[in-house]
Amino acid sequence: MGLTIAQKIIKAHLVSGEMIAGTEIALKIDQTLTQDATGTMAYLEFETMGVDRVRTEKSVAYIDHNTLQSGFENADDHRYIQSVCRKHGIYFSRPGNGICHQVHLERFGKPGKTLIGSDSHTPTGGGIGMLAMGAGGLDVAVAMGGGAYHITCPKMYKVNLTGTLRPYVTAKDISLEILRILSVKGGVGAIIEWGGEGIKNLSVPQRATITNMGTELGATTSIFPSDEVTRAFLEAEGRGEDYTPLASDPDALYDKIIDIDLNTLEPLIACPHSPDNVVTVASLKGTKVDQVCIGSCTNSSLTDLMTVAALLKGKTIDPSVSLSISPGSKQVLTMLSECGALTDILASGARVLECACGPCIGMGFSPNSAGVSLRTFNRNFEGRSGTADAKVYLVSPETAVAAALTGYITDPTTLPYEYPNITMPQAFRIDDSAVLAPADPDEAKELEVLRGPNIKPFPDAFPQEDTLSAPLILKVGDNITTDHIMPAGSKILPYRSNIPHLSQYCFGVCDKTFPERAKAAGKGIIVGGSNYGQGSSREHAALVPLYLGIRCVIAKSFARIHIANLINAGIMPLTFADPADYDTLEQDHELELSDIYAGMDSGNIVMKNKTTGKEITLCCDFTDRQKAILKAGSLLKYTALN
The strand order across the sheet containing 31-35 reads: 131-134, 114-117, 31-35, 58-62, 91-93, 435-436
Q: In the prediction, which pLDDT does 639 show?
A: 83
What is the per-residue pLDDT across 156-197, written as a single tens digit (0 to 9) for each? 999 999 999 999 999 999 999 999 999 999 999 999 999 999
Same-domain pairing of 302 and 253: no
429 is a domain residue: no
Q: In the prediction, which pLDDT does 636 show?
A: 87
Same-domain pairing of 568 and 472: yes
Same-domain pairing of 323 and 251: no
Pick the last residue of a domain from 264, 287, 319: 264
* Domain boundaries, position 230: 5-264
Q: What share of the chain is helix, strand, coil (3-state, %, to 5)?
A: 35, 20, 45
Distance of CA 572 to the CA centre of its chain: 23
Task: Name the pairing type of β-strands 149-152 and 24-27.
Answer: antiparallel
Q: In the prediction, which pLDDT does 458 show?
A: 75
Pick the last residue of a domain from 264, 282, 300: 264
Would you put residue 22 in left (φ > 0), alpha (ψ -120 to 50) or beta? left
Q: In the prediction, which pLDDT does 496 show?
A: 84
Q: In the prediction, which pLDDT does 510 show?
A: 92
* Cα→Cα distances 615→38, 167, 357, 466, 535, Å: 39, 59, 47, 17, 32
Pick the last residue of a domain from 239, 264, 289: 264
Secondary structure (H, E, C), 536-604: CCCCHHHHHHHHCCEEEEEECCECHHHHHHHHHHCCEEEEECCHHHHHHCCCCCEEEEECHHHHHHHCE
CA distance 222 to 219: 7
Same-domain pairing of 92 and 166: yes
Q: Which residues have a Cβ under 8 Å from the Cβ of 107 and sit 6 or more positions away?
A: 237, 239, 432, 435
Domain count, the chain: 3
Q: In the prediction, which pLDDT does 536 show?
A: 85
The candidate with the shortest Cα–Cα distance to 301, out of 341, 348, 343, 359, is 341
Same-domain pairing of 112 and 233: yes
Segments of the chain with pLDDT less than 70: none
pTM value is: 0.93
CATH number of residue 391's parent domain: 3.30.499.10
Q: In the prediction, which pLDDT does 394 show?
A: 98
Q: In the prediction, which pLDDT does 489 show?
A: 81
Same-domain pairing of 202 and 66: yes
Same-domain pairing of 26 and 143: yes
Phi, psi dihedral angles at 229 (to 5 degrees): -65, -45
The DSSP call for residue 473 is E
204 is a domain residue: yes
Q: In the prediction, which pLDDT does 637 show?
A: 87
28 is a domain residue: yes
Query: Environment class of residue 611 by beta-carbon count within 10 Å: exposed (0-12), middle (13-18) or buried (19+)?
Result: middle
